């Protein structure tokens, strides 16, 4: 059995592969906007396992497969045997015999690692408790298209040290930029992930300090999916961590604002920032489609 190529975290692609993929995502976007038909995945099938809700991830993968001439199948644990206790490894072996790749959104990253270890087809992380690498492909495509290569620039992450924050740390490693994180005590990213980034990552409790001179300011919800019961408590802990005009004023005056969405206006970001001129969130969301098509092409058409 050939070992398939998986994409469970950003570091599964080398720096060169990541830059090539971003360039390819731009080309695929231009082709799509010109109305060119490009179907490299005719008759190929992607299975999508969603343990949690999704708008962007589901629609972008499904649309991408259809535009590429293939199909996507939506599976929720409620409707398949995974939800009734069938082993992850058994499911991986069975799906490997029927479909050409699997995208998974799970609560536990470890479940994706187990699935991937037993699968003979590529497995893509569509969000786990630890990472959201597909979102970073779109974010980096968006940054590159506005400002060119991000190497040597400063990115400011304001808020929870969560799955998105971890993926920004991986992006800082792979694409060689500085990442300043501002988060309340007790909500820092995982130390072992921070450690891998060395001096590229700095952590403080001061949003304006983290944003100072940054070319990109990013945030995410204060309570991620699965943390609904902590939402009240988190609102208090994160009250001083809103990305608002004061934070954006500390950043470079050309700074972009990004958010993976869904957003809560006037919680983690003020309405005047997310709906303001520095925000590129709608383009960032659209780029999920193009960046993931580049990923699918890379994983499913090469050996
Ligand atoms: N950003 C993101 O992954 O959105 P969904 O939860 O809607 O897929
Ligand atoms: N941190 C968020 C991202 C959603 C796309 C969550 O895990 O719910």
From 56, 106, 282, give the residue whose CB has the most ligand 1 atoms within 8 Å, as the site to mutate.
Answer: 56
Judge if the beta carbon of residue 267 lies within 6 A of ligand 2: no
- 242 plus 201 within the same structural domain: yes
Q: Is residue 264 part of a domain?
A: yes
Q: State the Cα–Cα distance between residues 145 and 95, nearest whole angstrom.
A: 37
Q: Are residues 52 and 113 in the same domain?
A: yes
Return the best residue to mutate from 127, 135, 225 for the ligand 1 pocket (most ligand atoms within 8 A of CB).
Answer: 127
Q: What residues contact residue 117 under an 8 Å CB cut-off, 6+ apart?
A: 89, 92
The confidence score (pLDDT) of residue 164 equals: 98
One domain, residues 248 and 180: yes
- The CA-CA-CA angle for residues 274, 245, 163, to 5°, reads 50
Residue 91 placed within a domain? yes
Read off the CATH number of the domain in which 142 is found.
Answer: 3.40.50.1370
Q: Which residues line ligand 1 (CB under 6 A)?
A: 54-57, 127, 135, 260-261
Judge if 204 and 274 occupy the same domain.
Answer: yes
| Residue 1 pLDDT | 56
Q: Are residue 62 and residue 187 in the same domain, yes or no?
A: no
Q: Is residue 1 part of a domain?
A: no
Same domain, 262 and 273: yes
Token pair of 233 as six digits: 């408590």
Count structural domains, the chain.
Answer: 2
Q: How far apart are the CA of 182 and the centre of ligand 2, in A? A: 18
Note whether 106 and 152 are same-domain residues. Answer: no
Nearest CA to ligand 2 atom 6: 224
Indicate whether residue 295 lines ligand 2 (CB < 6 A). Answer: no
| Whole-number Å distance between alpha carbons of 58 and 50 | 8
* Domain match, 34 and 141 both: no
User: Is there a domain that residue 76 lies in?
Assistant: yes
How far apart are alpha carbons 247 and 251 in whole angstroms?
A: 7
- Does 126 share its domain with 152? no
Distances (CA, A) of 283 to 68, 145, 146, 169, 214: 21, 10, 11, 22, 20
Q: What is the pLDDT of residue 302?
A: 76
Residues 152 and 177 in one domain: yes
Active-site residue list: 105, 132, 135, 220, 260, 288
Ligand 2 contacts CB of residue 163 (under 6 A)? yes
Give the whole-angstrom CA distance, residue 39 versus residue 69: 5
In a domain, residue 247? The reply is yes
Are 93 and 206 in a shared domain? no
Same-domain check for residues 38 and 155: no
- CB of 54 shorter than 6 A to ligand 2: no
pLDDT (tens place) for every residue of the chain, 303 residues total: 578 999 999 999 999 999 999 999 999 999 999 999 999 999 999 999 999 999 999 999 999 999 999 999 999 988 899 999 999 999 999 999 999 999 999 999 999 999 999 999 999 999 999 999 999 999 999 999 999 999 999 999 999 999 999 999 999 999 999 999 999 999 999 999 999 999 999 999 999 999 999 999 999 999 999 999 999 999 999 999 999 999 999 999 999 999 999 999 999 999 999 999 999 999 999 999 999 999 999 999 975
223 domain residue, yes or no: yes
Ligand 2 pocket test, pick from 60, 161, 220 with the greatest ligand atom count within 8 Å of Cβ, gives 220
Domain that holds residue 78: 10-132+288-301
Tell me, yes or no, whether 4 lies in a domain: no
What is the spatial order of strands in the sheet that 123-125 belongs to? 71-75, 45-50, 101-105, 123-125
């Amino acid at each position: 059995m050939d070992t398939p190529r998986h994409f469970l975290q950003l570091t599964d692609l080398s720096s060169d592969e990541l830059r090539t993929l971003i360039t390819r995502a731009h080309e695929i976007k231009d082709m799509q906007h010109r109305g060119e038909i490009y179907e490299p995945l005719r008759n190929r099938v992607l299975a999508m396992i969603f343990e949690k809700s999704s708008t962007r991830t589901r629609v972008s993968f499904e649309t991408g497969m259809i535009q590429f001439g293939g199909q996507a199948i939506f599976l929720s644990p409620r409707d398949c045997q995974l939800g009734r206790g069938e082993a992850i490894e058994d499911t991986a072996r069975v799906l490997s015999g029927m479909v050409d790749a699997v995208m998974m959104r799970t609560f536990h990253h470890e479940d994706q690692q187990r699935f991937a270890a037993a699968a003979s087809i590529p497995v893509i992380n569509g969000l786990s408790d630890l990472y959201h690498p597909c979102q970073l492909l779109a974010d980096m495509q968006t940054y590159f298209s506005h400002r060119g290569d991000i190497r040597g620039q400063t990115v400011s992450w304001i808020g929870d040290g969560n799955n998105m924050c971890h993926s920004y740390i991986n992006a800082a490693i792979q694409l060689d930029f500085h990442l300043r994180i501002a988060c309340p005590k007790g909500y820092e990213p995982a130390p072992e992930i921070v450690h891998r980034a060395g001096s590229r990552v700095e952590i403080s409790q001061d949003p304006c300090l983290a944003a100072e001179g940054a070319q990109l300011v990013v945030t995410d919800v204060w309570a991620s999916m699965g943390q609904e019961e902590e939402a009240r408590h988190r609102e208090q802990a994160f009250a001083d961590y809103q990305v608002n005009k004061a934070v954006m004023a500390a950043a470079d005056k050309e700074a972009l604002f990004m958010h993976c969405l869904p957003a809560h206006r006037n919680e983690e970001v003020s309405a005047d920032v997310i709906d303001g001129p520095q925000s590129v969130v709608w383009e960032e969301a659209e780029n999920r489609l193009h960046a993931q098509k580049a990923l699918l092409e890379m994983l499913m058409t090469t050996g």
